[in-house]
Structure 1
Amino acid sequence: MDSISRVPMAHPTALNLAGGSDTQAEAAAAPENATESLIPAPKKPSTNSDGGVETAEEATEPAEPDINELCTDMFDKMAVFLQGELTGTCEDYRLLENMNKLTSLKYMEMKDISINISRNLQDLNNKYASLQPYLDQINQIEEQVSSLEQAAYKLDTYSKKLEAKFKKLEKR
């Protein structure tokens, strides 16, 4: 009866997988550890004081299919979630790209408009410069007309005075 061998303790990962009461973070690490628990434990030859009695190796059971299914389901859902996040980010970048393109087009239109305004202003300045001699002539003519008008008023007053003297002389 003393020949019953000792069985080594089960791998802690296998216990965690079989327990099913771990948090999500531990469940996320479970698939890595699940493959470890499926690998049979190496045989450990033991030397017993009973003389060459062999010991039995540990029998490891594969993880329950429910845990494997849950892990697979969790990874599938995480993949869908991450895909959705990446898709949303890509759509945001596409929107920004389209907005940048539209803004660039608007700035190009504004540039064309400002170039046209600049050309038109330059044409107006050239036309004004070409009309400047005529405007100067108009100003000179206006000054001359003004001086002629003053002379006409003076002549009118002088003729009225002269008429008054003539009438005065005629009465005598």
Structure 2
Amino acid sequence: MAATGDEAAAMDSISKEPAGASAALNPALSGSGQLQRPEDAAESPTTTPKKPGANSDGGVETAEEAVEPAEPDVNELCNDMFEKMAIFLQGELTATCEDYCLLENMNKLTSLKYMEMKDISVNISRNLQDLNNKYASLQPYLDQINKIEEQVSALEQAAYKLDAYSKKLEARFKKLEKR
């Protein structure tokens, strides 16, 4: 278990040595205060005393304890997370696949509707062509009807003129008869 906050500050102060004690305990320093070469320090074996509070019953963690293998709970949690992530991704892929299937079905239905509309438009075009052909075959009769209508209107005009003339003649005849 790693120390945090005030505990960490206390451990740091315990683990640091005073400067004077460090010079007395450090074998690399010579009596004149100059550094010895590392080879010389290796030749003069000295034992380094243990730091106070660094023993195992002092409650201070060492670096070796921090590198312990993960607890089984963490492994179980990781496995659980990966399983759930796999389920989630499987669901996402399934949803995407279903979306594509729906889109494919919609495209098929749209294609069928367009085919039906094409058939309807072909039928309408064919019927329109038939109507145009029938109208073309009736055109001479329609022209004759138009000519007859013109002749009837001309006859009607002539009848009105004849009626007006006959009224004038009748009025003259009555005038002559009275005399």
Deviation at residue 65 of structure 1 after TM alignment = 3.1
Aligned-partner residue type, residue 74 of structure 2? I
Could you tell me how far apart the structure 2 residues matched to 1:150 and 1:143 are? 11
Partner of 2:20: none
What is the percentage of aligned positions where both structures have the same residue?
88
Partner of 1:36: none
Partner of 1:85: 92
Partner secondary structure for residue 112 of structure 1 = helix
Partner of 1:161: 168
Partner of 2:132: 125
Could you tell me how far apart the structure 1 residues matched to 2:167 and 2:74 are? 128
Alignment of structure 1 residues 1-172 onto 2, 5 Å: 64-172=71-179
Could you tell me how far apart the structure 1 residues matched to 2:79 and 2:106 are? 40
Could you tell me how far apart the structure 2 residues matched to 1:151 and 1:61 are? 128
Could you tell me how far apart the structure 1 residues matched to 2:173 and 2:73 are? 139
Structure 1 unaligned spans of 5+: 1-18, 20-48, 50-59
Partner of 1:3: none
Deviation at residue 139 of structure 1 after TM alignment = 0.5
Could you tell me how far apart the structure 2 residues matched to 1:171 and 1:64 are? 147
Could you tell me how far apart the structure 2 residues matched to 1:90 and 1:124 are? 51
Structure 2 unaligned spans of 5+: 3-42, 44-66
1:80-100 alpha-carbon deviations (Å, 9 max, x no partner): 011000001011111111111
TM-score, structure 2 length as denominator? 0.58
Which protein has the larger Cα radius of gyration, Structure 1 or Structure 2? Answer: 2
Deviates more, 1:135-144 or 1:106-115: 106-115
Could you tell me how far apart the structure 2 residues matched to 1:147 and 1:67 are? 112
The number of aligned residues is 116
1:52-98 alpha-carbon deviations (Å, 9 max, x no partner): xxxxxxxx986543333222222211110110000010111111111
Deviation at residue 108 of structure 1 after TM alignment = 1.3
TM-score, structure 1 length as denominator? 0.60
CA RMSD of aligned residues (A): 2.3
